[in-house]
Amino acid sequence: MAAKKEDFGQQQKILNAELKEGRFRRTYLLCGEQAYLRIQNRDRVRAALLGDGDEMNVSVYTGMDVTAREVIDQAQTLPFFADRRVIILENSVFFSKKASVESDTLAAFIPDIPETASIIFVEENPDKRKKLYRAVQKNGFVLNCEDLSPRMLGQWTSGLFKKAGLSIDGPVLNLFLETVGEDMMNIVSESEKLIGYCMGRDKITDQDIRAVCSPQLKDRVFEMVSAVSRRQKQKALSIYMDLIALRTPAQVILTLLQREYSRLLQIRELRRAGQSGEEIAARTGISAWIIKKNYMPVIGKMDAGRLERSLQYCLQADQDYKSGKIDAGIAVEMTIIRLCG
């Protein structure tokens, strides 16, 4: 995890420097889980490529409503009173498991993109096995917009509040990130709510966060895991019913349960190996403060054997559900009861 995050930071610096110096690539792939970073870099690259050029030299395609031939024709069309034509493809079919012929056709064209055109691909999860991915990687620029490190995310988030004239100290900032999660789009949305709520003051408190911010799904799931660790069956089932009332699919809850027990086992083993909180945070991508506040109390109540059994219960329930042996909702309820037993 740490390597990916460091790689993003370094690649972002390289991209920023190239755009500033006017050293443009003929193709870019902006991908990864952080939609905020994908969109931010899409707009930055677009603005740099166009310069003073007219918007009529931009073609934007979203989804599957475009063919490789159409993209190639656009790229080979000279720009109108501008240096280049910009083609933006967002969540296109070319990087999916479908349309392999179309994808390969476009991949063969990548090395021959004329100097008067640039293609920007914006994809959340491109198939890296495709020829197109390798072609862009070899001939253009790939920026993986992964999650920021806890330190970078904290600095960026506190900067949002600083711009609004609000200060936020370390523990309160940690509570905010613990509550709203690490998705940067959601952080922006929740920070705007919080800034509006705190208007007329100069500091954010933990009470403000509890009053305004909406907890993320994964936080409610971890609250359920915490209840299970204390064998509080009724509380765990009550949280599950709350999630179902919010129309959360049972299979999603089951997947998140698996993830949390996998994380708990990983953190426990790293701690037993003598690694510090900061080292564990770097390995897992979870902030040291959240590990100390949330994960360590659960690990203190569940030995390795119980954690392993809990993960196996989740995996077995997932397998039974996917094989059609049992309904997803019943699988989750039975798993919670077994976990508390």
Cα–Cα distance measured from residue 145 to residue 88, given in angstroms and rounded to the nearest whole number: 17
Dihedral of the alpha carbons of 194, 198, 202, 204, in degrees to the nearest 10: -50
Give the pLDDT of residue 289.
73
Look up the pTM and report it: 0.65
CATH topology of 150-212 equal to that of 217-340? no
Nearest CA to 177 among 203, 150, 217? 150
Per CATH, domain 2-144 is 3.40.50.300: yes
Three-state secondary structure call for residue 98: coil
For residues 282 and 297, give the distance between their C-alpha atoms in angstroms, rounded to a whole number: 20
pLDDT of residue 14: 95
Q: Where are the domains of the chain?
A: 2-144, 150-212, 217-340
Rg over alpha carbons for the chain, rounded to the nearest Å, is 24
CA dihedral 277, 279, 280, 282 (to 10 degrees): 120
Task: Give residue-wise pLDDT tens across range 96-118.
Answer: 766 688 889 999 999 999 999 99
Question: Rounded to the nearest 10 degrees, how much is the dihedral formed by the CA atoms of 134, 136, 140, 145?
Answer: -90
Low-confidence ranges of the chain (pLDDT < 70): 1-6, 53, 64, 97-99, 216-219, 246
Do 277 and 308 meet the contact criterion of CB atoms below 8 Å apart? no
CATH dotted code for 217-340: 1.20.272.10
Residues 6+ apart with CB under 8 A from 320: 326, 331
Task: Look at phi and psi of residue 18 and say left if phi exceeds 0, alpha if psi is from -120 to 50, else beta.
Answer: alpha
Q: How far apart, in whole angstroms, are the C-alpha atoms of residue 257 and residue 131?
A: 36
Q: Please check whether residue 8 is in contact with residue 144, taking contact to mean a CB–CB distance below 8 angstroms.
A: yes
Q: Which pLDDT score, from 0 to 100, does residue 325 have?
A: 87
Tell me, what's the pLDDT at 247?
A: 76
Residue 256: predicted pLDDT: 83
CATH code, 150-212: 1.10.8.60
* pLDDT value at residue 6: 47
Sign of the alpha-carbon dihedral angle for 87, 91, 95, 100? negative
293 secondary structure, DSSP code:
I
- Tokens at residue 76, please? 């080979």
Give the per-residue pLDDT at 4.
46
DSSP-derived pairing of the beta strands 58-62 and 141-144: unpaired
CB 181 within 8 A of CB 220: no
The sheet carrying 141-144 orders its strands as: 58-62, 85-90, 117-123, 27-31, 141-144
Q: Tell me, what's the pLDDT at 5?
A: 47
Strands 58-62 and 85-90: parallel
- What DSSP designation does 115 have? T
Q: Which two tokens stand for residue 156?
A: 């960026």
Q: How far is CA 89 from CA 32, 130, 212, in A?
A: 15, 16, 37
